[in-house]
Amino acid sequence: MKQKDLRTYKRRSVTRTSGFHTCDETTGGECLIKKAQAFNMHEDRVTFKFRRSGLVLTELFDKGNGMLAFGGYIYTNKPLTISFLLKYTMNGRSFEHQKDYMGPVNVNDWNNIGFHKEISSDYGETVELATVEMTIRGEANTCLQFISFDFGPVSKEEYIGDVFGKPFYQKTAMHIPYLYYLETTKPFDTYLLGNIELSSGNIVVLKSCNRCGRYLPINIFNEVNTLSFSLHCKKRAPCVHSTFRAYNIQNMDDVSMTDLKQLQVENGKVVSYHGHQLECKACKKFFVNAPLNPQRNPQQFKEDGLRRRAIEVLVNRLLDRNLVHFEFEHRTKKEFSEYIWKKFGGRCFKCNKKMPLDEMHLDHTMPLAYLYRLDESATCLCGTHNAQKSDRFPSDYYTEDELEHLSKITGLSLDVLKSKGVNQTVLKLLVDNVVWFYDEFLKEPEYQKIRGGIRTADKINDSLKRVIEGQVDLAEEYRSRTGKYPTTVTIVKTV
């Protein structure tokens, strides 16, 4: 039997609400009562295959990688193991990624499951075809139930730029699947292939988040095993705080009396014993707990990414124009990555964790903002430590022993590793090519574009100005050659 009724719920509006403002539509005090979709395992294993095509990736965090994610909530009445196999094609090339679900599986209860795969932007931005095979192994006649599954690219606006990279890579596994910000009200069989017979399962209460506006499951029959919201009164239950304990049912017309009787309902509201937080755990992790600068909005994160890439391009062009080649110039990025990965024994330099090549994060070693390009002196780091190091100088991040070790691996002298200043070679090239920099490089339409009231070229110019402060004044340098100030940036002269 197909769960037609699951398709009738109101979809949220297409425009996503920014996590920086509380959501207009939801206060955290609303809920939907839904039915899970159930499947009876006839044998000791079953594979569910999901397929999507034409997925456009969003470049996330400071590396600008895309990300595909799959996940949802599963209930089982017997022990089982779960594994995932992702296959996808980009530009005609095929890739595979295998992932086992590592956490313990709660029996006779709900479990959060899912995984993600980062995809380098080098392969393009569109995934032509992607499938996920979710294989469940257990005993025959295990009854499985599913709710809030989705499969697609991660496109959370605030994940663009470098600010959320650090919290994202910390304790990621604990926050699957809700940290992907996928949809939560799609039927389980939305992308499911084949003839899989699903039936109607238990009722599940989906509560709203007042930040992201999503409806996410709460574990109303066993609240202490939280799913996507933390409890309000964990020890001093019952929760007596009206804002946190009862949730207005938004789809009363779709709910049968029999279903309703299983819940404690007061005045059209589902009552929770412990009460729940207003924000989902993802919004709590990213927007409430993370120490962030509240002045920055999603638009600014995007600009930061753009500026970072502009500086990368600038440094590369300056070196290329002047025939300062490095060993890997004519090889592919993959060969380069592999070289660095091998050099570090396939381990994160900071925590020594072993990782496959495609999970390595290449770190510049010396910061890009100070005009150091990604070259053979790069460091192999895991996601967590790459986000942690960010644009810091090695001497601000590593211990004395680590610096010595890093010097041996990278070939950079200890003096260089301990130095904190702009790359003098590139700075000299920039000064030599200052007319080109203003009249050609910054003239590109992309950099002349005004974003958030500010010309992008001004931002690039300002971030260079900050790091070379006291050494060179580029605009003056330009004027000494041409007799005028550059027009591709806004010059404010203080008298």
**243 near Zn ion, judged by CB under 5 A:** no
- For residues 80 and 137, the answer to whether their CB atoms sit within 8 Å is yes
β-partners of residue 73 are 112, 147
b/e for 146-174, b at 16 or more Cβ within 10 A? bbbbbbbbbbbbbbbbbbbbbbbbeeeee
Question: What span, in angstroms and rounded, lies between the C-alpha atoms of 444 and 438?
Answer: 10
Q: How far is the CB of 417 from Zn ion (least distance, A)?
A: 18
**Contact status: 232 vs Zn ion (CB under 5 A):** yes
Count of alpha carbons within 13 Å of 334, Cβ hemisphere only? 6
Q: Does 233 bind Zn ion (CB under 5 A)?
A: yes
Q: Measured at the alpha carbon of residue 306, what is the angle toward residues 300 and 311, in degrees to the nearest 5?
A: 125
241 binds Zn ion (CB under 5 A): yes
Range 263-282, binding Zn ion (CB under 5 A): 275, 280
> In whole angstroms, how close is the CB of 223 to Zn ion at the nearest point?
12
Q: Which is nearer to Zn ion, 16 or 78 (CB)?
A: 16
The nearest distance, CB 154 to Zn ion, in angstroms, is: 14
Q: How far is CA 239 from the centre of its chain?
A: 34
Q: Is 284 in the site for Zn ion (CB under 5 A)?
A: no
Q: Select from 117, 211, 276, 307 the one that contacts Zn ion (CB under 5 A).
A: 211
Per the rule left: phi > 0, alpha: psi between -120 and 50, beta: everything else, 92 is left
**Binder to Zn ion among 36, 218, 239, 366 (CB under 5 A)?**
239
| Intra-chain end-to-end CA distance of the chain, in Å | 78
Give min distance, CB of 276 to Zn ion, in A.
Answer: 9
Q: Assign residue 79 a region (left: φ > 0; alpha: ψ between -120 and 50; beta: otherwise).
A: beta
CB of 8 or CB of 352, closer to Zn ion: 352
- Does the protein bind Zn ion through residue 171 (CB under 5 A)? no
19 or 138: CB nearest Zn ion: 19
Residue 116 CB, nearest approach to Zn ion (Å): 17
CB of 64 to Zn ion, least distance (A): 20
How many binding residues for Zn ion (CB under 5 A)?
Answer: 16
Write down the least CB distance from residue 289 to Zn ion, Å.
13
d(CA 410, CA 76): 50
406 binds Zn ion (CB under 5 A): no
Q: Is 67 in the site for Zn ion (CB under 5 A)?
A: no
**Where do the H-state alpha helices sit in 1-149?**
none
Name the minimum Å distance from CB 101 to Zn ion. 22
Nearer to Zn ion (CB atom), residue 39 or residue 344: 344
**Distance separating alpha carbons of residues 348 and 368, to the nearest angstrom:** 20
Binding to Zn ion in span 311-370, by CB under 5 A: 348, 350-351
Q: How far is CA 274 from the centre of its chain?
A: 31
Taking contact as CB under 5 A, which single stretch among the options 160-168, 190-198, 230-238, 439-447 is the one that binds Zn ion? 230-238
- Of 283 and 460, the one with the shorter C-beta distance to Zn ion is 283
Number of Cβ within a 10 Å radius of residue 255: 18
69 or 315, CB closer to Zn ion? 69
Query: Shortest distance, CB of residue 282 to Zn ion, whole angstroms?
Result: 5
Cα 88 to Cα 59: distance, rounded to the nearest angstrom: 17
Using CB under 5 A, list all residues that contact Zn ion: 209, 211-212, 232-233, 239, 241, 244, 275, 280, 283, 348, 350-351, 382, 385
